[in-house]
Every structure is written in structure tokens, then in C-alpha cells.
Structure 1
Amino acid sequence: MIPAIPSKTAAKPASRGAFIVLEGVDRCGKTTQASLLIKHLVGLGLAAVAMRFPDRTTMVGDLINQYLQSKSELDDRAVHLLFSANRWEAAPALRKTLIDDGANIICDRYAHSGVAFSSSKPSLEDNLDWCRACDVGLPAPDAIIFLDIAQEEAEQRGGYGGERYEKKEMQQRVRKRFSQLQEMDEKDGRIPWFIVNAAQTIEEVQIEINEIVEKTVEKVQSEEQPVGLLWKEETKG
């Protein structure tokens, strides 16, 4: 998930890194664009680290992986708590990477995906607030880049349908939840969303994302704001 931490003898960076999250429905191209973005930032001389959720390499992640591959059955609330726990177990390393190492994090899915997918299940469709509450207080992204693609086109991409959630009706409900979460974040005003048309060529999408991320990194470095808390009002004084 996170590469080796630099030597302890290294000087503490002057500013923290930016936390960028790529979101979208399945097969929208997040993983491809995250990889290209890492290479772009490194090419600019910026430290960049890749993260991905769920992180299937941990004990919690292994349980999630079995569930997603339909090798086990779990209660919907239990599954949501596992996804949330998977993010919480990574939170200390995430903060260390941003603050102590000053590295930018490019994350393929995060809490918004967890909430969107869980609350799209019939058993939890009226429990959006409960789903969000499990992740309140996690490190907050500095920007969410949503790769927008029509359901019909996503279904034509390689590998579609290989996991539990890759079903048309589910993906349509997830898309609506993402829109609802975007509206909530925009009303709150602390987590900016950027919508990118993922139906463009890989190169065209990459150009848009690079521009967004470069501006976000510059903003984070110039304002020197602390890492925010996800969906939680921060006390002052």
C-alpha cells in the first residue's frame, strides 16, 4: 500500500503533501489514471505515493477480498464496518506520509466509495448518515477527482462483471449516491470535487487530471493548512 518510509535522518519537509482521491463507478479508469499521475508527479520532482482501497493486503482486507469475490457471505452492516476499518487501519501511515514525509498521496477510492456502495444496497438505502458516521474523523482529501462515464460504456470495458458489485442496477444506484455525496460536500465547502469526462482518451483524461492536481498541490503548499478531518467540524482555539 505505502512504500518504505524515507530514512529517519532526512530533514522534515517544509510543507505537507496533498491528498488526492480518484473516485467513480467501476471500470471508469481510476487505477490507470492513478498510475499515470504518480509518474507525472515524480517527473516534476514531487514525492508521490500510491494508495488504494480496499487494501486487500491486510487481515481486514483479506476478508473484504473474499467477500468481493463472492467467496463468503456477510451482513451488509458488517461488510461496511470492514471497509471502514480497512481505511482506519491505514490512517496513521497516511498521516505520516502526508505530514512527516511531505509526500503527495494519490488514492484509488476512499471513504466516499465505501459510503456510496454500502448505502446503495437495499438494506442500507435509508442509512446514509450511519454509513458516513463510520468514517467521520478520517484524514480528509484535499481534492476528489470523479471520473464520470456512462454505465453502458463502463460495461464494455475489460473485466467488467468480475466482482460482486459490478452489476448494472447496483452501479446505477452508486452513481446517484456519488452525486448526493458531492452535493453534501459542496454545501459543506471543505472538500472540492472535480468532474472529469472519463469517456475521453486516456491522454485527454490524463491532461485534465494533471492540471487539477498540480493546482491542488500548489494550493496545499502555499496555504500550509493542516490535514483536515473527514465530515467533522474542526474545533478552534
Structure 2
Amino acid sequence: MIIVIEGGDQAGKKTQTALLAKALKQRKIKTTTFSFPDYKTPVGKEIAKYLNCKRKFPPQVIHCLLAANRWEKLNEILAAQSKNSIVIMNRYYHSNLIYGLANGMKSKWLKNLDDGLPKADLVILLDVTQRESFRRKKTNRDKFEKNEEFLRKISKIYRTIAKKEYWKIIDASKSKQEVHENILKAISQKIGL
């Protein structure tokens, strides 16, 4: 099973991915995690340079690079699926769709970039306001994190797509523990923990 933790910047994706992996392992459920973008790969390094304003790409190129970053990890994802009951993704192809739509790109084109990757079984959206996002990270923001208007647009698109695609929406402005418990409840409804 692939569980994806999605959300805008500073929604708590990394924290909640780690808490979820720990909770599942404590229940003796074989679990592993991936995080995208993966900045350690050759393509991931180019993405990091773009986000830190050291490279310029047209929107189509950066979205192709974001998809290529997931394709770089395909064999690892498939191996992880065969060895684990649950694979947790801290962002996956869904974020490329959301950010691409915010950049004015076509949904079909964006979806085609990732067509063929293993599909998510459950997507959890950590929903947080832009005010809260900015409160959580005041410095060292990347290209997207600096643009408050763009981030508001991202939040709106995330909510719209989440409702349309029946993702589980969790209020991420609550405490880390409350958010974690709500994630466990959502997974329990899906697989029965």
C-alpha cells in the first residue's frame, strides 16, 4: 500500500511522515518512506538549484524534472513495495499536478508525466493556511515559499482536488500529536489498524 502525505509548504509533511513510519513500525508493519523531491539524485540537484534561484527553467521543464525525479527512484519504489506492507511518500506525483495547475499548465499533460508510476492507495492532505505556513518558516524560503499569493493559490487548488479525488483532508494547524492521531484514524479506516 502506498500512503501519500501531501500539503503546501510547512504543513508538517516531513514530521508526520516520520511519526507515521514510527507508529506503523511499532505495530510491526513493515514500512519505508520516500520524500520528493529527492535532492540527492542528479535530477534532484537541478531541482534544488532551481528552487534556490541558481537555475532558471520554463515551467514545463521544472515539472518534467520533478516527474523525472520520481522516475529516477522507480526501481527503489518497486523494491520497497515488494519488501514492505506500507510505503509512505512525503509528496508524490500529486504535488506536481497541484503546483503545475497553479503555474497555469494543463492537467492532462501533468498527469501524463507520471503515468506508469505506482499509484497511491491513500492520499492525506495536511491542510494549513498560508499565514500558518509563514509563521512556521520565517527564513530560508525557496522560490515557491517566498511567494505568498502563489502559496494561497496552491492551498486552494489542493483543497479543490482533494475533495474531487476523495483524499483525506486533515487540519494541520492543530498540534503535531493531534494531526498524527487524525492520520492514524484515516489509515485505520482504510486498512484497520
TM over 0.5: yes
Q: What letter matches 1:139 in structure 2? A: P
Give the Cα–Cα distance (whole angstroms) in 1 for the partners of residues 39 and 190 of structure 2.
28
Structure 2 unaligned spans of 5+: none
Which residue of the partner structure matches residue 151 of structure 2?
Answer: 171
Which residue of the partner structure matches residue 7 of structure 2?
Answer: 24
Structure with greater proportional helix content? 2
Compared CA separation, residues 216 and 96, structure 1 to 2 (3 A) = farther
Give the Cα–Cα distance (whole angstroms) in 2 for the partners of residues 199 and 75 of structure 1.
33
- Cα pair 1:66 1:72 within 8 Å, conserved: yes
Compared CA separation, residues 170 and 77, structure 1 to 2 (3 A) = same
Structure 1 or 2, whichever has the larger Rg, is 1
Q: Which runs of 4+ in 1 moved over 6 A?
A: none
Is the counterpart of residue 116 in structure 1 residue 98 in structure 2?
yes
- Of 44, 57, 63 in structure 2, the residue corresponding to residue 74 of structure 1 is 57
- Cα pair 1:68 1:164 within 8 Å, conserved: yes
Cα deviation, 1:112-165, whole Å, max 9, x if unaligned, reads 1111112212xxx15222112211221111100101111111110035661010
Compared CA separation, residues 160 and 132, structure 1 to 2 (3 A) = farther
Is the counterpart of residue 185 in structure 1 residue 165 in structure 2?
yes
- Of 54, 67, 84 in structure 2, the residue corresponding to residue 84 of structure 1 is 67
Superposed displacement of residue 211, structure 1? 1.9
Give the 5 Å matches for 1:214-229. Answer: 214-218=188-192
Give the Cα–Cα distance (whole angstroms) in 1 for the partners of residues 107 and 28 of structure 2.
40
RMSD: 1.7
SS in 1 for 2:47: helix
Q: What letter matches 1:210 in structure 2? A: L
SS in 1 for 2:14: helix
- Cα pair 1:112 1:181 within 8 Å, conserved: no
- Cα pair 2:129 2:155 within 8 Å, conserved: no
Give the Cα–Cα distance (whole angstroms) in 1 for the partners of residues 154 and 139 of structure 2.
15
Superposed displacement of residue 49, structure 1? 0.6
Is the counterpart of residue 104 in structure 1 residue 74 in structure 2?
no
TM-score (norm 2): 0.92
Superposed displacement of residue 213, structure 1? 2.1
Give the Cα–Cα distance (whole angstroms) in 1 for the partners of residues 138 and 187 of structure 2.
28
Structure 1 unaligned spans of 5+: 1-17, 187-192, 220-237
Cα deviation, 1:30-54, whole Å, max 9, x if unaligned, reads 1111111111011111111111000
Which residue of the partner structure matches residue 200 of structure 1?
Answer: 174
- Cα pair 1:22 1:144 within 8 Å, conserved: yes
TM-score (norm 1): 0.76
- Of 32, 40, 60 in structure 2, the residue corresponding to residue 57 of structure 1 is 40
Which residue of the partner structure matches residue 133 of structure 1?
Answer: 112
SS in 2 for 1:119: helix
Give the Cα–Cα distance (whole angstroms) in 1 for the partners of residues 139 and 122 of structure 2.
27
Is the counterpart of residue 148 in structure 1 residue 127 in structure 2?
yes
Compared CA separation, residues 161 and 115, structure 1 to 2 (3 A) = farther
Q: What letter matches 1:182 in structure 2? A: A
Cα deviation, 1:79-128, whole Å, max 9, x if unaligned, reads 11000111112122212211x2133111111111111112212xxx1522
Instruction: Give aligned-pair identity as a percent.
Output: 29
